[in-house]
């Protein structure tokens, strides 16, 4: 046993007392002001909304239903500027002064590009007899699936660029596949054996 163990223990206790008086082991003040509380509450609501949207996507992907044909009504997305304002205001975000914000400037029409709000009304497509009967019976406008060659195209310039790229790719592929390959290079037999394998002499018939 160390004979100086008690003196060392007293010295350690004295050092610990000095540390406690100096506030080394004191817990920091965890009190939150009103602003921090609001931020944490808003973050909690956003986190909960994100979880709800994730669960909705999972349930929608697990539905055991057949794919919708192209002549059926497409799924209508319930996104709008009014709903965005309402959602953000419920989360505590001040939406005043956003009348000229970016999300309120344009309406996207896949068949006609981007049309500015308030400039002109989109033309309604002509309806055949069957479609007119459906509209008259349901009382709601008929929604048609957008043309597949314009889906994902934002404006006319992008459409022209896509057409030019497709034209070049097709021409390149036709040129490459139209070249003469190894299978097209035929070298015929100079003396076919089925014609020159007979036993007859010179000047005789060369066929059997």
Assigned token pair, 72: 């059926």
- pLDDT at position 190: 79
- pLDDT at position 110: 44
Bridge partners of residue 106, in order along the sequence: 116
Do residues 71 and 143 make contact, with C-beta atoms less than 8 angstroms apart?
no
SS3 content of the chain, % helix, strand, coil (to 5): 45, 5, 50
User: Backbone phi, then psi, for 172, in 5-degree steps?
Assistant: -65, -40
- pLDDT at position 200: 66
User: Backbone phi, then psi, for 44, in 5-degree steps?
Assistant: -65, -40
H helices of 23-78, in order, are: 34-61
d(CA 190, CA 115): 72
pTM of the shown model: 0.26
Q: Which residues contact 45 (CB under 8 A, 6 or more apart)?
A: 90, 91, 92
Assigned token pair, 147: 């043309």
Do residues 103 and 83 make contact, with C-beta atoms less than 8 angstroms apart?
no
- pLDDT at position 151: 76
Q: CB pairs under 8 A, 24+ apart, for 5-14?
A: none
Residue whose token pair is 């003196």: 7
pLDDT in single tens digits along all 208 residues of the chain: 677 888 888 888 889 888 888 877 777 666 667 888 888 888 898 898 888 888 888 877 766 666 666 566 656 666 777 788 888 888 777 777 777 777 676 554 444 444 445 454 555 555 566 667 777 777 777 666 777 777 778 888 888 998 999 999 999 998 888 887 787 777 777 787 777 776 666 666 655 5
């Amino acid at each position: 046993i160390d004979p100086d163990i008690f003196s060392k223990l007293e010295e350690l206790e004295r050092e610990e007392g000095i540390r406690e008086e100096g506030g080394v082991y004191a817990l920091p003040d965890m009190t939150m002001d009103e602003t921090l509380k609001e931020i944490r509450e808003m973050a909690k609501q956003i986190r909960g909304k994100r979880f709800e949207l994730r669960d909705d996507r999972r349930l929608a992907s697990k539905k055991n239903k057949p794919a919708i044909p192209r002549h059926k009504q497409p799924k209508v997305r319930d996104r709008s500027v009014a709903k965005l304002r309402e959602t953000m205001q419920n989360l505590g975000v001040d939406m005043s002064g956003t009348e000229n914000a970016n999300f309120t400037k344009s309406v996207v029409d896949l068949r006609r590009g981007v049309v500015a709000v308030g400039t002109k009304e989109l033309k309604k497509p002509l309806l055949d007899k069957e479609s007119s009967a459906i509209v008259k019976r349901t009382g709601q406008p008929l929604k048609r699936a957008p043309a597949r060659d314009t889906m994902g195209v934002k404006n006319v310039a992008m459409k022209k660029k896509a057409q030019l790229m497709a034209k070049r790719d097709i021409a390149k592929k036709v040129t490459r596949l139209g070249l003469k390959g190894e299978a097209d290079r035929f070298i015929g037999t100079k003396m076919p054996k089925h014609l020159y394998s007979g036993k007859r002499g010179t000047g005789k018939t060369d066929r059997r």
